[in-house]
A and B are shown apart, each in its own frame.
Chain A
Amino acid sequence: MTTLFQQLINGLSLGSIYALLALGYTMVYGIIKLINFAHGDIYMLGAFWGYYTINYWHFNFIFALLSAMVVCAASGVIIEYFAYRPLRHAPRITALITAIGVSYFLENGMSYLYGADTRDFPQVIKQVNYSLWGVRVSNIQILILATACLLMILLQLIIKKTKMGRAMRAVSVDPDAAELVGININQTISFTFALGSSMAGAAGVLIGLYYNSIDPLMGMTPGIKAFVAAVVGGIGSVPGASLGGFLIGLLETAVQSVGLSAYKDAAVYLVLIIILLVLPSGIFGKNVKEKV
C-alpha cells in the first residue's frame, strides 16, 4: 500500500513537469496551429539562465525564477518575430520545419558556446524530505506540483477573464475575423508566445533545481513527451494539457513500477495512439466538423 502511494507521488511529480511544459505547447498550437518544436529548448534556456544567474550573479531562487520567466518570454517573442512571423501565411509544414530549425539552432548553439556536457544546478533551496506513513515527499516535489497547479489556474484565468485572453481565443478561432473586429493579431500572438515561453522558463528553473542536472539537449526528450501530453489532453486546451501531463507521468511510473521500464516510452506512444483513435482530437479537444 505504501509503495502504491509512493508510486502515485512519483507519478504526480513527474506528471507535473510534463504538464508545466505541455501548457506552453498547447497555447502556441491553439493560436497559430504550429507544433513549436523549439519549446523544449526554451525550457533549456530557462534552466541555463537560472544556472548562470544563481552561480555568477548570486540571485536568490525567486528572483532567478522570475528573471528566467522574463528572459524566456523575451526569447520566445524574438523567435516568433524572426522565424515564425514571416511564415504565417506559408504552408504549416514549412513553419514546422522552421521550428525544428530553431530547435536545432538553440540546442547546438548552446552546446557550441557552453559545451555539451551535463552540469549540476546550484541547490539554492535545501531539499527536505517529509515522511508520512512511509511515503516520502520532498519540499521541491511539492513546490513543483504547487507551481504547476498555480500556473495552470493563472493561465486559465488569463485566457477566460482578461481582454487579452479574449483576443487570444478569438484569434485561435478565426484570425481574419478577429482582425476585422479590431484585434491586433501580431500583438496577440506575441503575447501568447511570451506567456507560453515564460511557463517553459519557470519549468526550466524548477526542474533544474529538482533533478540537479542540466545540459543543452535536456529539452529534446521532455519536449516531445510534453507535446504528446498536450495532444492526449486535446491540444489547444489548458486543462487538457495539464491532464495529459499528469496522465503520461502516471503511466510512465506505472509501467516502470511493474518492471517494464524498457518499454516505458512505447507504452506512452501506444496509449497516445489508442486515445487518438477513440477521441481523435484528444480528451478535451474540440472536434471540429468539416463542412462541405
Chain B
Amino acid sequence: MKKSTIKRITGFAAIAMSAAIFAGCTTAKTTTQGNDQTGNTVKIGVNMELSGAAGGYGNQMKQGIQMATKEINSKGGVNVNGKKKKIKLIIKDDKTSTSTSASVAAQLVNNDKVNAIIGTATTNAGTAAIPNETKAKVPALSPSATDPNFTLQKDGKVQPYVFRACYQNNFQGGTGAKFIYNNLKAKRVAVLGDNSTDYGTGLAKAFKQQFKGKVVDTQYFSGGDKDFNAILTAFKNKKIDAIYAPGYYSEIGLIIKQARQIGLNVPIVGSDGMADAKLVQIAGAKNASNIYYTTPFSKTVAKQNPVAVKFMNAYKARYHTEAPTFSALAYDSTYMIKQAIENEKSANSVKITKGLANIKDFNGVTGKITIDSKHDATKPIAVEHLNNGKVVGSTQIK
C-alpha cells in the first residue's frame, strides 16, 4: 500500500510540476503604471482594523479620516491640476488579521482601483498588505505603524510605496530615555511594556538601548490585561526612580491607578499611545499625577497650532469627546494625501507616491511633518506632564 501511495504522489507531483513550469512561463504580467484617477472623484482606500483586537483604535482612525474627507469635500474637493475633484472613500475592514489585510489591499488596488490607501493601524497588518500595494504601485500611508523596519525592505532600502505619519519606535523610545535621564534625573528605571504588540516591545527595546541610567527590571503585560498589582508590588521593592511604560491608554491608565493605590508614587513615563482623554478617566484624576508621555499632539503645543485647534473643536462638535491621537494621525494622513496630489498636480497613484515622498513642512494637527528618505514622518516631539489629571506643562525635546 505504502509503495503505491508514494508512487501516486510522485506521479502526481510530476504532472503538477510540469503545470507549474507552464504557469511560470506564461504568467509574466504586463507592468502597470499605477491606478489613474478617473471620473470626478479621487478614490482613497481605507484598509483599517475595524474589528478584532485593534478595532477600537481603527474606528478612531476611521472617524479622523471621515472628518477630513468631509471637510475637504465641503470645500469642493482636491485640486487636481486645476480641477476640483471630490474624495471618495472606500473603507474596508481587515479585522486585525494579516491575511485579511493582504486581501483587502488586493481588492482596493485591483477591483476598486484606488489612487492611494490609508492604513493600516498596526504594523503586522500593514506589512502583509505591502506586496499587493507594491505590485499595483499604489502608495499606502499608515497613520500608526511604528516598527522601525516597517517602511524598509529586507536589504535596508526603503519600501517605495509605504509611508507612515507617526514616529517610529527608536525615535520615540529614545526621546523617552533622554527625558527620564536629563529632565527627571532618574537613574534607576523599571520598564513595563505591552507585550502583545510591536509598539510596546519596540519602544521598550529602543528605550533600553538608549537609556543611560540603569534599567532595573523589565516586565511585560499583554493587551486586555487588567491586573498589574503583582508586577507593581514587585517594582515597589526595587527602589526605582521612575517607570517607563510604553503601551496604550487602556492598560496604562490601569497601571497608573493601581500603582498609586499601592503607594508607588514615582513618575510614570509613557508614549503617544497614552495621549488620550480616557487615560485620566480610567486612572482617576487624583491618581494621574506625575505622569509624562511623549507625544506629537499635545494640548499645550496645539494651542499655538491653528490647524490643531480647528481639528480639536470640530472633533468635539461631531463626536462629543476629546479628539484621540489616533484620529489626529488619521486626519493628518488624509490631508497629506491631498497635499501630495496638489503638489504633483495629478492623482495617479505613482504620482501620489512621489508627492508623499516629497512632503515637507506639512502643517498637520500633529505638528510640522516632513517625510524623510526612509519614508518616516519627522515632526517635533514634546513631553506632556499631567498633574491631578490636568495637563500642566509640556517640554520640547530636541
User: Which A residues are closer than 8 A to B by beta carbons?
Assistant: 3, 6-7, 10-11, 13-14, 17, 108, 111, 115-120, 123, 127, 129, 136, 138, 207, 211-213, 215, 217-218, 220-222, 252-254, 256-259, 261-262, 265
| A257 near B230: Cβ-Cβ < 8 Å | yes
Given A136-B261, A138-B261, A261:B221 Cβ within 8 A = yes
- Report chain B residues within 8 Å CB of A257: 230-231, 233-234
Task: A256-B219, A261-B230 given; name 4 further pairs at CB < 8 Å.
Answer: A3-B237, A117-B57, A136-B262, A252-B230
Q: Mark B215-254, 1 if CB is under 8 A from A, else 0.
A: 0010111101111011101101100000000000110011
Given A6-B262, A220-B224, A261-B220, A117:B233 Cβ within 8 A = no
User: Which residues of B from 283 to 335 have beta carbons under 8 Å from A?
Assistant: 284
| B233 near A123: Cβ-Cβ < 8 Å | no
Bound-complex Cα distance A221 to B225 (A): 8
| A211 near B262: Cβ-Cβ < 8 Å | no
Using CB atoms, name the residue of chain B closest to A252. Answer: B230
| Chain B residues touching A, majority SS | helix
| Chain A residues touching B, majority SS | helix
| A265 near B222: Cβ-Cβ < 8 Å | yes
- Report chain A residues within 8 Å CB of B60: 117
Bound-complex Cα distance A220 to B222 (A): 13
B363 close to A (CB within 8 Å): no
| A261 near B231: Cβ-Cβ < 8 Å | yes
B55 close to A (CB within 8 Å): yes
| B233 near A6: Cβ-Cβ < 8 Å | yes
Given A117-B60, A261-B219, A261-B221, A10:B229 Cβ within 8 A = yes
Bound-complex Cα distance A61 to B222 (A): 30
For this complex, 19 residue pairs linking A to B, each with C-beta atoms less than 8 Å apart, are: A7-B230, A10-B227, A108-B51, A115-B59, A117-B56, A118-B56, A118-B250, A119-B278, A129-B261, A211-B227, A213-B254, A213-B282, A217-B224, A218-B226, A220-B224, A222-B226, A252-B227, A253-B229, A256-B219
| B230 near A11: Cβ-Cβ < 8 Å | yes
Given A118-B278, A261-B219, A10:B253 Cβ within 8 A = no
- Contact of B56 (CB < 8 Å), options: A10, A207, A215, A220: A215
- Report chain A residues within 8 Å CB of B263: 136
User: Which residues of B from 251 to 285 have beta carbons under 8 Å from A?
Assistant: 253-254, 257, 261-263, 278, 281-282, 284
A226 to chain B, nearest CB (A): 13
- Per the CB 8 Å criterion, the residue count for chain B at the interface is 37
- Report chain B residues within 8 Å CB of A14: 227, 229-230
Bound-complex Cα distance A115 to B278 (A): 14
B380 to chain A, nearest CB (A): 27
Given A136-B262, A212-B254, A256:B278 Cβ within 8 A = no
Using CB atoms, name the residue of chain A closest to B231. Answer: A256
- Report chain B residues within 8 Å CB of A3: 233-234, 236-237
Bound-complex Cα distance A70 to B315 (A): 38
- Report chain A residues within 8 Å CB of B281: 119-120
Given A115-B59, A120-B278, A262:B254 Cβ within 8 A = no
| B229 near A127: Cβ-Cβ < 8 Å | no
Bound-complex Cα distance A113 to B251 (A): 23
B192 to chain A, nearest CB (A): 8
| A221 near B254: Cβ-Cβ < 8 Å | no
- Report chain A residues within 8 Å CB of B284: 123, 212
- Report chain B residues within 8 Å CB of A252: 227, 230
Using CB atoms, name the residue of chain B closest to A140. Answer: B261
- Report chain B residues within 8 Å CB of A215: 56, 250
- Report chain B residues within 8 Å CB of A111: 51, 55
- Report chain B residues within 8 Å CB of A218: 224, 226
| A259 near B224: Cβ-Cβ < 8 Å | no
| B195 near A213: Cβ-Cβ < 8 Å | no
A205 to chain B, nearest CB (A): 15
Bound-complex Cα distance A6 to B264 (A): 13
Given A136-B261, A215-B56, A256-B230, A117:B220 Cβ within 8 A = no
